[in-house]
Amino acid sequence: MPSEAQPLVLITGANGYVGRRLLAALEAQGQPIRCFVRDAKRLTPASPSTTQIQQGDALDPVSLAKAMTGVDTAYYLMHSMETTGDFASMERQTAGLFAHAARSAGIRRVIYLGGLGTDGRDLSPHLRSRHEVGEILRREGPLTVEFRAAIIIGSGSLSFEIIRALVERLPVMVTPRWVDTPSQPIGIQDVIAYLMAAREIPLEGSRVFEIGGPNQVSYRDLMREYAGQRGLCRWMIRVPVLTPRLSSLWLALVTPVYAHVGRKLIEGLRNPTVVRNFSACTAFGIEPVDLPTAIAQALDDKSGHPLLQEIFTRTLAASSQTAFAAIERIGGANGWYFANYLWKLRGVIDSLLGGVGLRRGRNDPNHLQIGDMLDFWRVESMIPGRLLRLRAEMKLPGRAWLEFSIKDISGGSELRQTATFDPYGLGGLLYWYTLYPIHRWIFKGMLRHITYAIEGDSHE
């Protein structure tokens, strides 16, 4: 049970993009949390000792009442955009049930994340629905803190991933008028900071806070900044006839994975989403990072971005410690266990392209540590006996990693080898798929010969 010093916090929508990051931030503080989710199997808490998971339906008053028992603060991070019917009607119904349940349970404060945009008849159905949810929570529930944000910049954010997909896949973009609509993006870390601070900020009644980064930019500016940081040359040709509705159909062809929800978002791109009330700056004292920094942080975060991967596993009779010793000897004068002539050829090609080649070798023939150079790789992460992750420093049309992870199992250990590639545009995709058969052959052979070496070590 939570102590008086640490009252219980409820997170709805904990399986979502913002919800997962908020959950991690609160768990890092040791905060007792209850997650109310539709599918408990999709959520694995980092701190099971302080986090409860309750599966339920937000349209079921009994489920809501059970979830809110003993709760001090509740985060409302749910939305219904993935539904195929009248999502606005469902959002109103869900918000009403939640507000009544929160008031009945004696919850002290509700914190809600909505969307920016000026109220009016021209407001898109998506943004209008977001505003209506906030109005219902404030009118029918306990004290409510409503944040309104525009595009959230972060790896895994739907708006950001649509921009990423468009820029990565289209060297030439025929852009409609809405790409010049002003917006005020904000980084995900700053959104989480606001949500965290809202638990204890002194308030006499419900409030609406508009939050955004320091830069007001168009969607064209946003795409150019992204392309610049990725080293991509992109041409954008503006046409006056491609309406948001037609754009949403075009989106389905370019980014089908985001098309269903993305269509609802694109219909709202005609609406400026900029901060007009700056009370959040003085009330919270948070200074959001600028757009270039937010995008750089998103690019460094691989958690939400669908990267290209090739994974192989082997079951070993040897212990994880014995297996890791063989892994740690990889590269340099020891070689790469398989097809060393191809590794040497790749080193020559890299040198001709102005890269580091294989000339750096390795400092110690048997042991590695974080930051060590290893031929044209660098040790990015290492947990002795468990994990070795190498980041490529050769010339590539993208970013690449090679990771070995080992875990103990009954009767031995399991070795997993993962090759990951983050392609830069169409050139990067062409590189991955053209060389895919060769890379697959090399990495499978490498793992097989590493297994032979481990088995030899275990019999010595």
Same-domain status, 235 and 216: yes
The one-letter amino acid at 100:
H
Count other Cβ atoms within 10 Å, centred on residue 215: 18
What residue numbers bound the domain in which 155 lies? 8-300
Q: At 224, list the tokens.
A: 């150019």
pLDDT score at 334: 92
| Alpha helical stretches, state H, 285-319 | 291-300
CA 104, CA 97: separation in Å to the nearest integer?
A: 11
Q: Which of 176, 315, 324, 162 is nearest to 243 (CA)?
A: 176
* Conformational region of residue 292, where left means phi above 0, alpha means psi within -120 to 50, and beta covers everything else: alpha
Tell the burial category of 237 from Cβ atoms under 10 Å away from its Cβ (0-12, 13-18, 19+): exposed
CA 104, CA 78: separation in Å to the nearest integer?
A: 20
Same-domain status, 118 and 88: yes
Least confident of 46-55, 170-179, 355-364, 405-414: 170-179
Report the percent of the chain where pLDDT is more than 90.
58
CA 151, CA 219: separation in Å to the nearest integer?
A: 10
Rg (CA), the chain: 25
Same-domain status, 191 and 95: yes
What are the start-end ranges of the E strands in 38-108? Answer: 51-55, 71-76
Average pLDDT value for residue range 1-21:
82
Same-domain status, 295 and 316: no
CA 402, CA 367: separation in Å to the nearest integer?
A: 17
Strand partners, 145: 111, 207
Q: Which of 387, 460, 397, 376 is nearest to 417 (CA)?
A: 387
Same-domain status, 110 and 225: yes
Same-domain status, 200 and 81: yes
Task: Tell me, yes or no, whether 413 lies in a domain.
Answer: yes
- 88-122 tens-digit pLDDT: 888 999 999 999 999 999 999 999 999 998 887 77
pLDDT score at 170: 79
Beta-sheet pairing, 33-37 with 51-55: parallel
Task: Tell me, yes or no, whether 2 lies in a domain.
Answer: no
- 51-66 tens-digit pLDDT: 999 999 999 999 999 9
Is residue 150 very low, low, confident or very high in pLDDT (cuts 50, 70, 90)? Answer: very high
Same-domain status, 275 and 335: no
Least confident of 52-56, 196-200, 426-430, 441-445: 426-430
Residue found by looking up tokens 């749910």 in the block = 78
pLDDT score at 52: 94
Tell the burial category of 119 from Cβ atoms under 10 Å away from its Cβ (0-12, 13-18, 19+): exposed
Is residue 244 very low, low, confident or very high in pLDDT (cuts 50, 70, 90)? Answer: low
Residue 19 has pLDDT above 60, yes or no: yes
Q: Please, are residues 394 and 355 in contact by the beta-carbon 8 Å criterion?
A: yes
pLDDT score at 6: 82
Task: Tell me, yes or no, whether 75 lies in a domain.
Answer: yes
- Top pLDDT among 447 and 49 is at 447
Residue 318 has pLDDT above 60, yes or no: yes
Residue 266 has pLDDT above 60, yes or no: yes
Number of domains in the chain: 2
The one-letter amino acid at 152:
I
DSSP-assigned states of every residue in 11-60: EESTTSHHHHHHHHHHHHTT--EEEEES-GGG---S-TTTEEEEE--TT-
Same-domain status, 377 and 415: yes
Mean pLDDT of the chain: 87
Interhelix angle 125-140/259-266, rounded to 10 degrees, is 80
CATH number at residue 377: 3.30.530.20
CA 35, CA 303: separation in Å to the nearest integer?
A: 21
Least confident of 43-52, 146-155, 227-236, 367-376: 43-52
Measured CA to CA in angstroms, residue 429 lies from 6, 396, 421 at distances of 49, 11, 9
- Residue 246 neighbours by CB under 8 Å, 6+ apart: 176
Q: At 102, list the tokens.
A: 């929160």
CATH number at residue 196: 3.40.50.720
Angle, CA of 226, 230 and 233, to the nearest 5° = 85
Q: At 14, list the tokens.
A: 């904990």
Same-domain status, 219 and 168: yes
Q: Please, are residues 450 and 318 in contact by the beta-carbon 8 Å criterion?
A: no
Residue 395 has pLDDT above 50, yes or no: yes
Q: At 413, list the tokens.
A: 């250990």
Is residue 163 very low, low, confident or very high in pLDDT (cuts 50, 70, 90)? Answer: confident
Same-domain status, 143 and 248: yes
